[in-house]
Amino acid sequence: CNQCGKCCIKYSSGGLSASANEILWWDIARPHIYNHVSNGKIWADPDTGKPLDLCPWLRKHPNNVYTCDIYFDRPDDC
C-alpha cells in the first residue's frame, strides 16, 4: 500500500462487505464502527441507515496521503 487512497475510494460506495463475525465483533467491542452498519451492510450513515458514498474511516492528509482510522479493525474485504 502506498497510501494513495485509490482502493478505498473505488470500493467505498457499496463495493465492500463485512462478515457476520466482523459485524458481531464491532457490535461487542467497537460500537463506533458498528454504528456504521445497516442491515448487515457497510458503510451507512448512523442516523439514516443510508449507504455512504465514501468510507467514513478514510482520512486524507497533506500531500495526498490517505490513512484508515480503523486500520486494525477494518473488515477483511479491505
Reported as a single tens digit per residue, the pLDDT across 8-58 is 888 888 788 999 999 999 999 999 999 999 999 999 999 999 999 999 999
- Separation between Cα atoms, residue 24 and residue 7, nearest integer Å: 25
Question: Which pLDDT does position 67 carry in this prediction?
Answer: 95
HEC-encoded secondary structure of 28-78 = HHCHHHHCCEECCEECECCCCCCECCCCCCEEEEHHHEEEECCHHHCCCCC
Model confidence, pTM? 0.89
Residue type for position 17: S
Residue type for position 19: S
Q: Which cell numbers hold the place of 9? A: 475510494
